[in-house]
Structure formats: C-alpha cells, structure tokens
C-alpha cells in the first residue's frame, strides 16, 4: 500500500448497507457487502404508467398520466478468484468466490430470522448512487470453475427497487455526512487512503483514520478487518 495522498481519481468501492427495518434505524454492519471489483455498469429504470385507451372511432389519444413506478437500479459486477485482476487475488487453496457470493446473498437476498423478510438496503457508491431500496431480482452466472467444481468467476446482475419515504431520505442524509462516525469492513485489495477518501472526499485524512484505529501500519489491511472512520475535526 502506498502512503501517498489520494487524488480525485481515487476509486471508491460500492457498498451495500443492511437494515432490519423500513425506517432504516436498525443497522446490521456485520452484513454490509462491498463489491471487490466495482460494477461493470449500472442502469437506472424510471417508468411512467400512462392511460393510452383509445375511444371507438378515434385514430389516437392524448396519453394521460396514471402513476409512476418506483425507480429501479440494476448493477452488474463480477466476483473473480483467478488472480488476474489487479488488487483482487486469492490463494489457490481458498474458496473465496463462493464466500463472497454468500456474503452478498446474506446481505441482500436471504430472509432475516427476526423479520422473516430480506433486509432493507442502501446502495452507496461515490456521488452517483445513494439508493435506499430492497432487492427485487438477481441473476447469478457462474462462468469459470476450479477442477473440483468450485467457482472461480461469477457474474452478478442485481436489480433493486427504491424505497421512497421520509425515513429513507433521512438515512441517506445521515449516512452521507462526514461529520458522523462510519464503519467499513476491509475487502481484498482495499487501501486506507482510498477508503478515507471515499468517506471524507478530501485527501490527507487516512493518517487520522490509522491513528483512530490504532493501526501499527497503514500499508497493509487485512480482509474482514473493521475500521472506524471518525467525524471530521470541527476546525
């Protein structure tokens, strides 16, 4: 890992935050999922339902507004264990792609034993995606395997449906604030400077984060390690 300050070209990781309740109050940070490789693409779908009924004997109609469908977000990303992707390599005797897939499904798809429904989510990525939602569908395409049949590469296409409420908007506003403490779970290839830049959108704070977490070195992070990102100093 480099000690150099991040620049405006630093890539932030997409992260999916989990909540038990529709009011986004009961967070489950142990289930948060961060994509090891940023999405290949994302698509926003906005649908307007129109009244296009045509009266008998008329050639056309003036389409009238009926309603708007909840916005949908589609993400395409890859879980890769081949070792050919820079910053995303696993030892050959591990089953990390399987584990990453399970982590995603535990976060976004599987039923919670308390609520008996999948989690509420906030998908967050840089400046473009701040999306309170639930998962509506996911396609999982296994494309490459080890000799024993375990997956080496999985392509995921996930569609999320937006949850519009005052509570959802408040959660987004609170989560986006650099004046609050944030927590991240380290993924393979993560760098402290890039993680700090993702939270504070300014260079230079990664040393503060290292000191706050009592890190003995800022050059190497361990996957699964939890880091706290404290509020910015008031001055």
DSSP-derived secondary structure for 118-134: PPEEEEEETTTEEEEEE
Question: Which CATH number applies to 26-178: 3.40.47.10, 3.30.2140.20, 3.30.360.10, 2.40.30.200?
Answer: 2.40.30.200
State whether residue 135 is helix, strand or coil: strand
CA pair distance 229, 206, nearest whole angstrom: 9
Check residues 176 and 76 and name the one with the higher pLDDT: 76
Residue of 224, 220, 1, 184 lying closest to 94 (CA atoms)? 224
Q: How many other C-beta atoms lie within 10 A of the C-beta of residue 33?
A: 21
CA pair distance 215, 221, nearest whole angstrom: 9
- pLDDT for the residue numbered 179: 59
**Among 13-17, 119-123, 201-205, 217-221, which stretch is predicted with the lowest mean pLDDT?**
201-205
**Among 8-12, 153-157, 163-167, which stretch is predicted with the lowest mean pLDDT?**
8-12
Position 203 pLDDT exceeds 80: no
Residue of 36, 3, 1 lying closest to 203 (CA atoms)? 3
- pLDDT for the residue numbered 186: 84
List strand residue ranges (DSSP E) for 9-70, in order.
Answer: 15-19, 33-34, 41-45, 48-51, 64-68
- pLDDT for the residue numbered 44: 93
Task: Write the CA distances from 118 to 18, 45, 95, 113, integer angstroms.
Answer: 9, 22, 25, 9
Q: How many CA atoms lie within 13 A of 216 on its CB side?
A: 1
State whether residue 169 is helix, strand or coil: helix
> What is the pLDDT confidence band of residue 110, given thresholds at 50, 70 and 90?
very high
Looking at residue 27, what DSSP letter applies?
B
CA pair distance 195, 218, nearest whole angstrom: 12
Residue of 128, 168, 172 lying closest to 38 (CA atoms)? 128
Alpha helices in the chain (DSSP H): 96-108, 166-176, 192-200, 206-212
């Amino acid at each position: 890992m480099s000690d150099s300050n991040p620049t405006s070209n630093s890539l932030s990781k997409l992260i999916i935050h989990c909540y038990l309740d529709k009011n986004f109050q009961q967070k489950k940070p142990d289930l948060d999922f961060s994509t090891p490789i940023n999405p290949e693409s994302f698509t926003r779908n906005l649908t307007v339902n129109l009244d296009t009924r045509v009266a008998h004997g008329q050639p056309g109609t003036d389409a009238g507004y009926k309603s708007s469908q909840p916005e949908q977000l589609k993400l395409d990303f890859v879980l890769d264990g081949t070792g050919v992707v820079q910053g995303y390599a696993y030892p050959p005797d591990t089953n990390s792609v399987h584990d990453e897939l399970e982590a995603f499904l535990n976060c976004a798809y599987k039923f919670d034993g308390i609520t008996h429904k999948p989690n509420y989510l906030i998908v967050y990525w840089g400046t473009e995606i701040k999306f309170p939602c639930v998962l509506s569908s996911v396609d999982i395409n296994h494309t490459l395997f080890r000799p024993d049949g375990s997956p080496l590469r999985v392509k995921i296409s996930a569609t999320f449906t937006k949850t519009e409420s005052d509570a959802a908007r408040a959660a987004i506003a609170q989560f986006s604030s650099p004046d609050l403490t944030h927590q991240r779970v380290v993924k393979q290839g993560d760098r402290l400077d890039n993680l700090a830049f993702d939270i504070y959108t300014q260079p230079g704070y990664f040393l503060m984060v290292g000191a706050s977490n009592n890190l003995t070195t800022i050059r190497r992070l361990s996957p699964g390690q939890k880091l706290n990102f404290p509020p910015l100093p008031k001055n």
